[in-house]
Every structure is written in structure tokens, then in C-alpha cells.
Amino acid sequence: MASPRWFYQISGRWLPWLSLLTFVSIIIGVIWGLGFAPQDAKQGNSFRIIYIHVPASFLALVGYYIMAISGAIAIIWKIKLADVVMKSAAPIGASLTFIALLTGAVWGKPTWGTYWIWDARITSMLILFFLYLGVIVLQKAYSAQGLSNKAAALLALVGTINIPIIYKSVDWWYTLHQPATIKFTEAPSMHPDMFQPLLIMIIGFYLFYVTALIVSMRAEIIFRERNTSWVKELALNLKDKRPI
Amino acid sequence: MPDPKNILMNQASVKTLSLKDLSFQRNEKFLFSNISLTLESGDILQILGQNGSGKTTLLRLISTALRPYSGEIIWQGKNVNDIRESYLEDVLFLGHQPGLKRLLSAEENLVWWRRLNKTNLSKNVNAFEEVGLYNHKDEPCNYLSVGQLKRAALARLYVSEAKLWILDEPFTSIDKEFSIKLKSLIVSHLKRGGIVVLATHQDLKIENMKYFSISDLSGATSE
Amino acid sequence: MNNIGFLAILRRDLLLAVRYRGDLANPLIFFFIVIALIPLGLTPDSKELSEIAPGMLWITALLASLLSLDGLFKDDFADGTLEQIIILPQPLYFMVLAKTIVHWVVTGLPLSLLAPVLGLMLSLPETGYLPLMLSLLIGTAILSLIGSVGAALTLPLNKEGILLSLIVIPFYMPVLIFGSNMVVLAVDGLSIASPLAIMGALLALSLLISPYVTSCALRLSIYG
């Protein structure tokens, strides 16, 4: 159980269903959110970017903890599959963080009149992005030398202790330096008509995260186990099936 | 499975080191798996194997620098992870690198090492006379040649109170004369009831030498 | 007792630092040179300089401490003494703590003492001198502790210089925020109690956790 091979086989069966669910929920969420949800009283149509921004920021943070916890499991219990999760989760989380930053900037232009502003939440998100980059860079450096990525797992774990401290200190910093002219209001209490499509988008992003993680893990497993007989067999079968 | 069973006893307080189903993995591959063997006071084990076969790794496992993938190391009937500190007081490990600070003299290095290992500092053995470095013991190690550095590192053998010596390639870069001396030092350690585990390519011709070859096991793949 | 090993490492590393004084001066020279860049790159106007002085002094001190981290375990790793330290019959925690303290003594401490002079050059108001020193004394200690984790994690890599900075800087950010803020508050004539208390808490936390994490990181990174 829980061997990479077992996971590869079982995830192969889940994958079509998961992809379908992801696709359906994101399509529904996008059409509903962009086409049918009511306009925001102050921000007009530009607020609609929250249907991507909020779920992405949400999963960016959750993704860091998923990565760190699986890293801890890989170090402590030496479970190979957890190590694969850790390695695959890093670039996905970093991409989501990047999407959150990018959509935040696009949203900022009509809202604040500028693409970038040193707001507490944006700054925290940026630091989270740096934390991801650190883990990825360390992973790459170790694998380039043929070493395991346990060091990166430990770094991710240290990051989890630090994220609350970093977030709190950025909040503290921001309240001290808060410019009087621009004040970003908290997302106003949302109308249910706006909230329902957001919920669907959040679910859709969760599903997307899991799907992307599984696809990436499968690739990593095949790579790691490339010298085992079951992968070689798999490759041969694939070759036979392919029309020449 | 090579499991040397010929046990030899020549001391009242017999020390025992056993490896039980010891396995180690690197990059998803087993370097070796299920090594089991037992050594007692007076035993010497020579680990054989090609370059990169994992000799150093096995020595590091025994010295607890590395943790095994599975299996355990038993000292005096107890898992070494549970008695780490008292076990390590009985262990002397000399690795590939001499483990000497180049800016300190050979003597400063030795004093530092003795202090850390809680060896009895008042026990006055002139280790540097023994290794032939007496005239150089106050020079910074920077000025020593490779062979002299090795000797300075081996000086620890003369002051150590450890029962278990783990030596990684102790005979490289030392001359023939000192090799003979080192060999007799090892033999006298065994006679005092010590245990020696070493990796070397030399044929030492010590009586009752046990051998363990890692290459026998190479090629074992994961799962 | 644990303090035998702790003191032995402390003594040896201090002795090594004294024997090799060249390295001792490097962070200080770096601190000095970069501070000299600031008026050249921005403005010689003392009023404008005095406004950015706390942040600039702090950022530069942070970088000076960061750049000297590289060698924390590297020499011991290369000559095999680190291997000897790892298998000592004593907890690795104290060995690592001793090495980190020495790092602070040879970088953070002199940087903190030099800081008021450089503050003077950046027209930092005099009321900021003592808080600057105090914040740097505590802050650089935290930086050394956090940095030791990064130094351990990048130990076996060849190109660790820039990599170490990449992975460590995000963790330095809270220290920078509170450290430079302490100076700003003092210059404005306000109480520095709250950032001081937070820095104290951060120091206590990193004293507790960092050497332990560094010990784990050393084992993981050296031997995989």
C-alpha cells in the first residue's frame, strides 16, 4: 500500500473523473461569476476578477501547508509517496501564488489606479511567493547533484512556523505606514448572488489543485521508477498501442 | 548472507556490537540491504567493496552519523539510538578527511578533540612522539604534508579510551614504516578487548580477521 | 555536562576567528562601503538621508550578516571536523548554538558597534544611535540564528552563495520590519517598547528552535 506504483495505478482510474469535475465546476463558476452575478456597487465589473483572485490566493497558502506537511511525513516516516507530493506541490503552489499576484495587480489598476501597491496582503502574498521560490530553487540544486530533496522539505517546514510571524509582522508594518489616501476596504459583505459562484470557483480550484498535483506526481513517479520493471512494461505497452 | 559466526572471547568485560538487518537507501536505491553481523571484543572486521559501493556509508551508519533506512545497530544489547551518548563515548571514528583545523596546530587540534570526547586529559601519552610528529606538533596544520596530516589525525588512537574503532581508509597516504606501527597499534587494541571496523584495500594479515564484502549485495533494487 | 562541548567549540571558533583576522573585517568593510553608496546613488542632502537612514542601515547590516553566513559550516565540512562534531557524545544542539554565537560575535556584534558611526554619516539624529545599536544587537543575533538553518541546508551545494540568500531573506523580513521600526520610533521620540518586546520574543523563539532545526538540517544535507 501507498507505494508509488499503487498510487500510479489507482490515480489513473480517478484522473478522468477528477478532470471532468474540475472542468465542469470551473466552467460553471466562470460563466456564472463573469456573466450572471450582479455588478459590485462601487467597483463595477472589475470586481469580477475575485472569481479567480480569491480562490488562487486561498490555495496558494493551503498549498504551502500541503507541501510542508507532506515534506514532514517524507522526512519522519520516509514515505516515498509523501516525498513525491512535496516535490510536485511546490511548482503548483508557486504558480497559484503568481496567479494571485497577477490578478491582484490587474484588479489594482481600476481600483487604485496603479498595478502595484505595497498593501499588507499583497506584500504577504509576495513573501509567500519568495518562500515557494526558495523551496523550488533548493530542490533543483539538490536534484542537480543527485541528492534527495529532504533539505527542501525541511525548509518548507521551517516556512510553516514562519508564515504566521511574517504575516503578523507585515500587518503590523502596514498599519504603521498606512497611507491615508488609499485605503483598501475589506471585501464588502457579499451578496449571496455574488458569493455562490465564488464558492463554486473555490471548489473548482481545489479540484484543479488535486488534479494538477496528481498529474505532476504521476510524471515524477514514472521518472523516479524509470528503472523498475513495471515502468518499462508500461512504456512497452504504450508503444504497442500507438499507431505507427 | 555472510554472517560471520566465529566468535572469539579473550576478555572478561566483553563488548558486543551487532548489526541487525541493516539497510540503506540513497536516491531510491538500496546501497545495501539486510546486513546482519555480530562483533565482540577482540574482533576486527574489514569491509571490502569497490569504490562507491558504500563502505564509507556503512561506517557512518555504525558511527550514527547516518541513520539507517531500516534495521538497527545494537551495542551491549541496546539500540544505539536509545543510548546514543554513552555509545558514542565508546566510539572513535576517523573518516576520509583528517578532521583537523588547518589554522590550529596538531596539538591544539588533539586537545580540542580530547576535551569534546571527554577523554581523560591527564592521561599523558605522548601521542605525537608515537606518530613521529613531535617536532611539528606546534606548527599550524597548514604546514603539514598530507601524510603528516594523516598521522596527526591518527594520533587520536593513542589517547582515545574508546572501545570501538571505526576507521575509514586509515592506511592511505602513510608510509610503510608507519603502516606497520599502525597495524601493531590495532592489534594491541584488539588484545585489550577492543573492536575495530575498518575499510581498506590493504591485506592486513591480522589473525582472525573477519571480512564483509558489500559488493556481494550490490544490485539490490527497491521494492 | 553539555557545556563542555559547547565551551570547547566556542573557544576553538573564537580562536580561529582571531587567527584569521582577515575574515573578521570583511562584513564591516562591506557595511561601510555600501553605506557610502547610498548618498552617491540618492542624494547628499542630509535631511533626505536622515529619513531613509534607519532602513538603509538596517538593510545593509542585514546583508553584511547574510554574506558572512556562507562560511559558517563550510570549513568544518571541508576538513572533516563537522563529521567529528556530529558524532560527539553530546547533543548537537549545543555545538550548533556555539557556532552560531561565534558567528554573531564576529559579525553582528561589531556591525552593531560600528552602526552609530555610519548613522552619523547618514545624518541619523542622535536620539537614534542607541536604539540603532540595541536593535542591531538583538536583530543580528536573530539573523545569525535563522541564517544558520540556511547555511546548513545549502552546505553540500556548490553554488550556495546566492542560493543561501534566496532562501534566507524571506525569513529575515520580520526582523527587518521591527528592527528598523524601532529606530524610526526612537527618532520620532516615541516609545520603542513594543518592537523591542517583539524582537525579544523573536530572539527567544529562534534561540529555542533554530539550533535544533540546524542540527536536523546538517544531518539531512550532508548525508541525504
Q: Which of C154, C9, C158, C138 is nearest to C65 (CA)?
A: C138
What lies within 8 Å, CB to CB, of A182 at 6+ separation is A112, A117
Are residue B80 and residue B36 in the same domain, yes or no?
yes
Residue with cell 576535551: B115
CB-based contact B133:B150 (threshold 8 Å): no
- Cβ pair C88:B112 closer than 8 A: no
Residue C91's pLDDT band (cuts 50, 70, 90): confident
Nearest to B158 by CA among B200, B221, B107: B107
**CA end-to-end distance (rounded Å), chain A:** 37
Residue A243 is predicted with a pLDDT of: 57
Cell numbers describing residue B194: 577492543
Q: Report the C-alpha gap between B188 and B166 in whole angstroms.
A: 15
- Whether B3 and B47 share a structural domain: yes
Chain centroid to CA A234: 30
Q: What is the pLDDT of residue B215?
A: 65
Confidence bin at B123 (pLDDT 50/70/90):
low
**CB–CB of B88 and C20 under 8 A?**
no
Q: How far apart are CA C65 and CA C114, in angstroms?
A: 13
Report the alpha-carbon distance of residue A9 to residue C206 in Å, rounded. 44
CATH number of the domain that residue B11 is part of: 3.40.50.300
Are residues B167 and B78 part of one domain?
A: yes
Strand partners, B91: B164
Please name the amino acid found at residue B23: S
Neighbours of A128 (CB within 10 A): 26
Eight-class DSSP state of A190: P
Q: Are strands B16-26 and B29-40 parallel, antiparallel or unpaired?
A: antiparallel
Mutate to test the interface with B, among C6, C15, C83 (most CBs of B within 10 A): C83
Same-domain pairing of B216 and B193: yes
Chain C hits for B86, CB-CB cut-off 8 Å, are 89
Say how many domains are in chain B. 2
How far B27 CA sits from the closest chain A CA (Å)?
6
Mean pLDDT to the nearest integer, C87-115: 93
Alpha-carbon distance of B63 to B73, in angstroms, equals: 10
Here the ipTM equals: 0.90
CA separation (Å) from A83 to A4, A78, B133? 10, 8, 50
The Cα–Cα gap between B154 and B130 comes to 10
Looking at the fold, whether B85 and B13 belong to one and the same domain comes out as: yes
* B24/B82 same-domain check: yes
- By percentage, how much of chain C surpasses pLDDT 90? 69
Residues B3, C82: Cα–Cα separation, whole Å: 33
Q: B58 and B144: one domain?
A: no
Q: Mind telling me how many Å the CA of A178 is from chain C's nearest CA?
A: 14
Per-residue confidence (pLDDT) for residue A158, from 0 to 100: 93
Helices and strands per DSSP (H, E), number in chain A: 7, 0
What pLDDT was estimated at residue C201? 95
The whole-angstrom separation of Cα C106 and Cα C23 is: 9
| CA–CA distance, B90 with B196 (Å, rounded to integer) | 12
**B67 and B125 fall within a common domain:** no
* Domain assignment of residue B7, given as a range: 1-90+163-223
Contact flag A80-B26 (C-beta cutoff 8 Å): no
Same domain, B116 and B67: no
CA dist C38 and B123 (Å) reads: 59
Same domain, residue pair B167 and B157: no
Highest mean pLDDT among B37-51, C12-26, C45-59: C45-59
Same domain, B43 and B130: no
Q: What is the DSSP letter of A185?
A: P
Residues B12 and B119 in one domain: no
Q: Decide if A148 and C167 are in contact by the 8 Å CB cutoff.
A: no
Nearest to B38 by CA among B68, B8, B60: B8
Cell of A212: 494538477
Q: What is the pLDDT of residues A30-69, one digit of tens each?
A: 999 888 877 777 777 888 888 999 999 999 999 999 999 9
Q: Which three cell numbers stand for residue C106?
A: 564576529
